[in-house]
């Protein structure tokens, strides 16, 4: 994890250095601020759409894992956009824009399914699924007398 963070920091520094060399210090600061404003506006818009989709799914009674995951990814994208840097801005925009968010959602849900199965197997052993149905008990018929089986002991 520490190595990944260091690689991220080096990538951000290299990106800012490259942009700064191309457009200058004021241009770099302007691009960073414009990216933050544009990204926060886009995150707010897409977050509102995700929230409306979630409430619609919840009201209709259908599962809302897609809408919930979209909201989470939009929130993460908004946080990444507000972090200063060009690499985080690009990653945040990829999480906010719907086409790339759909890809991230599929990857995320697939990963969570694998982790859920692994966690369930670790907690209670292997999981066995049995295909069956619940049958209600038969009610006694009224036209036949109730028979209690047993033996009579005279004593």
Token representation of residue 8? 């991220």
Overall size of the chain counted in residues: 155
Question: Which residues are CB-contacts of 35 (< 8 A; sequence separation ≥ 6)?
Answer: 81, 86, 89
Tens of pLDDT along the chain (155 residues) come to 789 999 999 999 999 999 999 999 999 999 999 988 988 898 889 889 989 999 998 899 888 888 888 899 999 998 998 888 899 999 999 999 889 999 999 998 888 888 877 777 666 665 556 666 766 767 766 677 677 777 878 76
Question: Which residues are CB-contacts of 70 (< 8 A; sequence separation ≥ 6)?
Answer: 50, 53, 54, 101, 105
CB 81 within 8 A of CB 93: yes
């Amino acid at each position: 994890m520490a190595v990944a963070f260091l690689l991220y920091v080096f990538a951000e520094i290299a990106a800012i250095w490259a942009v700064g060399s191309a457009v200058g210090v004021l241009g770099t600061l302007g691009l960073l601020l414009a990216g933050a404003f544009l990204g926060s506006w886009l995150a707010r818009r897409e977050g509102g759409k995700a929230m409306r989709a979630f409430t619609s799914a919840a009201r209709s009674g259908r599962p809302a894992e897609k809408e919930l995951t979209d909201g989470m990814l939009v929130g993460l994208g908004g946080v990444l956009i507000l972090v200063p840097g060009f690499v985080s801005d690009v990653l945040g925009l990829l999480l906010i824009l719907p086409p790339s968010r759909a890809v991230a959602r599929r990857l995320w849900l697939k990963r969570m399914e694998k982790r859920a199965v692994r966690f369930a197997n670790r907690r209670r052993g292997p999981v066995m699924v049995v295909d069956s149905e619940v049958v209600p008990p038969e009610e006694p018929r009224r036209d036949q007398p109730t028979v209690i089986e047993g033996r009579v002991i005279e004593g």
